[in-house]
Structure 1
Amino acid sequence: MTVTTTRPAPQKVRAPHPLRAEAVRGFAPMAGLAVLLTAGGMMIATSATWQGGWAETASRLHESLLITLPMAAAAGCWQGGRERRRRTEELWGTVVRPPLTRLLAAAVPSAVWVVLGYLLAVAAVSLATWPYSMGDRPHLVSVPGDATALVAAVLAGHVVGRVVPTVLAAPLTGMVGYVVLGVLGSNGTAKSLSPAAYIWPTHEPVWWQPLAMGGWTLGPAAALTLAYAARRRVTALLPLTAAAACGALLLHTGSGLWQPDPYAGRQACDTSVTPAVCVNARYARLLPQVSDALSGVTGKLRGVRNLPVRWEDHEGEPPADETQLPMITPLDWSVVRGRLTEPKRYAWEAVALMQGRGDCARLPERVSLADDAVSAYLAPSPEQDSFDKRDAQGDAADRAALRARLAARAKLAGMDEDRRRAWLSAYFASRNDCAMKGVPSL
């Protein structure tokens, strides 16, 4: 009996795609990690200046391009010079694939990893801001343009690495990129062409600015790539033309590329007190803390006339019937991670702004005594005791001035409620008046 067996047909093993090999091994993942650590390190080092403010977070992230863009260009340049360092250029020349395909197979994984590193940094800092956010909403409109600029930097650097025959090409490329960004960012006319131009937290790009910036940055990189590796180098004119059109649009629009944040022009107010307490809508969740810090002031002012209508928080001089709230921004001064750092100092600054004599020349002694007594009654300075102790140990003039201040403070504090309200009403009637004839004496 004969038994016949059939050998199973060998399964066809599919060769791995060259992009996969480049993406999971070698230098590309390291380039992405370097961008992640650099952007993340810069953000961590300045966390108190952005954590809690969505606009500040977006501005700081965009500002990190000043370092990560040159780094991406240097990484692309290093990858581009790989075959020369390995001395495999002639071997690669025998491969069937065309030069453009070979170039992209080596450059695209690096670009993808660099962008992935940046996006991970964006996600991480967004998660870090979210628990402390004071209002507003995430500002992500710049992210597509930033990511495109990083891709362009890698591609351009890759071509430079293939053309320039020196191991110093990568660091020199990064240095040149940093200088170019610095020059563009410091030039008022050309600032709109810089992919790393500073964005004020109170402003945000118009919706089409990232698209135009992407065309402006990616166009020259694509043209350089096609001019180097394409069979028909005339095709490089297409992306170059697109880049010129985008650059002309950016340059023509100029400062119009950045529009005021709608939130920055709004106020969130507590109208249950007089003066009303208003903060910028970007920090609406901070209003309870600000109202609590000023509660001692507003409580003592109950029934007093001639007060400002409200404390307001926006750019520019307030109207005559309003007063400026102490600045919430820049973060890391009065506010850190969504919390007022020194409520007592904040209240003292609010009273000083309400008195409105910051632009006046030298004050008469009676006015200075009245201002000091009002400040000490409503919200004394946290350093008041130390200043008084210093004057108590000073010369005769310092001790005499201290005695006069203490007497004025005691007189205001010792008045009955009705008399003190009348005196304060007369005092605030002269607010913002540098003539100071109506300031009552103590």
Structure 2
Amino acid sequence: MTLVRERVKASGGRPVLRHPLRAEAMRGFAPAAGGAVVLTLGAVLAATADRWQGGWVETRSELHAMLLLLLPFAAAAGCWLGGRERRRRTEELWESVVRGPLARFLASAVPLALWLVAGYAVTAAGASLATWPYARGDRPYLDLLPVDVLAVAAASVSGQVVGRVVAWRPAAPLLALAGYAVLGLSVASDDGADRFVNPALPVGHGEIPVGRQPAAMAVWVAGLATAAVLAYAARRRWTALLPLAAAVAAGGLLVQTGDGLWRTNPVENRQVCDTSTTPQVCVNARYGALLPQVTAALSGITGRLEGVRNLPVRFEDRLGAPRAGEVQLPMLTPLGSSLVRGRLTDPGQYAWEAVAMLRGRGDCGTLDPRVSLADDAVEHYLAPSPAEEYFDRLDARGDEERRAGLAERRAARERLASMGADARREWLSAYFAAAGDCDARKVPAL
């Protein structure tokens, strides 16, 4: 009573009225659910940071993939909160207030949805800030974020409808399990057109939505949730038909158009090149600022190939097969292997893979010993494998055949290294003229 009198006195004798949304939003289940979202998604993202931190597209796709965890959780949280009055046995008291059913529903549903959305938004902001220092080109991608946020809110509100309708305590965990199962089956389906109505459908790193896709997905998820709320709490329940019709139309567009609502990111086919080397070195524009690192990693190769003929014009890094006069650059993606947080993890390994790309005999199967000797000598001269010494030591301790093979390889390496500069350039020019050819007769003897 003392606290009430103080509040009345502070307000000039008038009673202080608190909006019901304030009580729901400031304490209880909703803030705890929002905190659980931040902690859970933050832990998952931290554990997988190597595969997304440093790439804007990867960060976007990883955040979008978090919906597979978040949507069932949001639905279960809404369902649990929806059954609160039944568990407390305060349903009759709650129904006796002046406000209508829809207002009472929203007073409970909106704070939880906002807290879950805030948790996801905080996680997305944290992931973006973690990527910013390591990004090596491109720009942040926000094309999926608004619809993802809307999907989280829709799942929470829809789950609360289920919680109010289904008078069963295990309804919330069972709803979560059902959500994980449905989303998982949709993701696993590669050919079903219905997968395109899944708001958590994984998005490839090279894909961006066309203009209609986010709008159609927003109408789909919001329409279903709104229809459920109106069918449960509106005075005129037939009004639920309007958002339901909009959702059906949007879902039909998503299913019928399918892949047509997605296109390849134009940046994927753009290259940033260093034309001062032979071959030239080009990286995908998404990692344009990485070019100096890649050029430095390949400098030992390009320096030793100066003056050599029959080389590709450039190393390229784009989708699809290399064009005439080009050779594929060793893959920088997916992140977490060659590239982690904007840095090449092993420049020596990267350079060795580039030499393998240059000689281009990956599909030849078992090679003629003459070709194998030439390939090994060129590899040793341009960029030896980081594991070369290890395998040489194994062969040195092996049987007589393996020791003899090692002696032949070392002799071939020595012959190439001891050639005069002009003679070596001529031999390498003849060697690269046979690049990609499995015919041993076209490879010069060493």
Band of TM-score, shorter chain: over 0.9
Which residue is equivalent to 2:107? Answer: 105
Deviation at 1:14, TM superposition (A): 4.0
Deviation at 1:247, TM superposition (A): 0.2
Deviation at 1:151, TM superposition (A): 0.8
* Aligned structure 1 segments of 4 or more residues deviating by more than 4 angstroms: 7-10
Which residue is equivalent to 1:12? Answer: 14
Which residue is equivalent to 1:266? Answer: 270
Which residue is equivalent to 2:125? Answer: 123
Matches within 5 A, 1:14-413: 14-187=16-189, 188=191, 189-413=193-417
Q: For residues 125-158 of structure 1, give each alpha carbon's deviation from its aligned partner in whole angstroms, at most 9, with x where no partner exists.
A: 0000000001010011100110111111011100
Residues 9 and 329 (structure 1 numbering): CA distance in 2 closer, same or farther, change over 3 Å? closer
TM-score by length of 2: 0.96
The range that moved more, 168-177 or 183-192, is: 183-192
Aligned length: 436
Task: Tell me if structure 1 keeps the 8 A contact 2:54–2:133.
Answer: yes
Which residue is equivalent to 1:3? Answer: none
Task: Tell me if structure 2 keeps the 8 A contact 1:38–1:68.
Answer: no
Aligned counterparts of 1:430 and 1:33: Cα–Cα separation in 2: 62
Structure 1 unaligned residues grouped into runs of 5+ = 1-6
Aligned counterparts of 1:190 and 1:432: Cα–Cα separation in 2: 43
Task: Tell me if structure 2 keeps the 8 A contact 1:192–1:257.
Answer: no
Deviation at 1:13, TM superposition (A): 3.2
Aligned counterparts of 1:140 and 1:35: Cα–Cα separation in 2: 20
Deviation at 1:436, TM superposition (A): 3.6
Deviation at 1:10, TM superposition (A): 4.7
Aligned counterparts of 1:208 and 1:46: Cα–Cα separation in 2: 31
Task: Letter of the 2:225 partner, please give it.
Answer: A
Aligned counterparts of 1:94 and 1:185: Cα–Cα separation in 2: 45
Aligned counterparts of 2:247 and 2:335: Cα–Cα separation in 1: 37
Task: Tell me if structure 2 keeps the 8 A contact 1:430–1:436.
Answer: no
Matches within 5 A, 1:397-436: 397-436=401-440
Deviation at 1:207, TM superposition (A): 2.8
Deviation at 1:179, TM superposition (A): 1.2
Task: Tell me if structure 2 keeps the 8 A contact 1:136–1:283.
Answer: yes
Deviation at 1:380, TM superposition (A): 0.2
The range that moved more, 199-208 or 351-360, is: 199-208
Task: Tell me if structure 2 keeps the 8 A contact 1:184–1:193.
Answer: no
Deviation at 1:9, TM superposition (A): 11
Name the Cα RMSD after superposition.
1.4
Partner SS, residue 231 of structure 1: coil
Task: Letter of the 1:406 partner, please give it.
Answer: R
Deviation at 1:437, TM superposition (A): 2.3
Residues 37 and 136 (structure 1 numbering): CA distance in 2 closer, same or farther, change over 3 Å? same
Aligned counterparts of 1:204 and 1:9: Cα–Cα separation in 2: 54
Task: Tell me if structure 1 keeps the 8 A contact 2:370–2:440.
Answer: no
Task: Letter of the 1:72 partner, please give it.
Answer: A
TM-score by length of 1: 0.97
Which residue is equivalent to 2:4? Answer: none
Deviation at 1:8, TM superposition (A): 12
Which residue is equivalent to 2:5? Answer: none
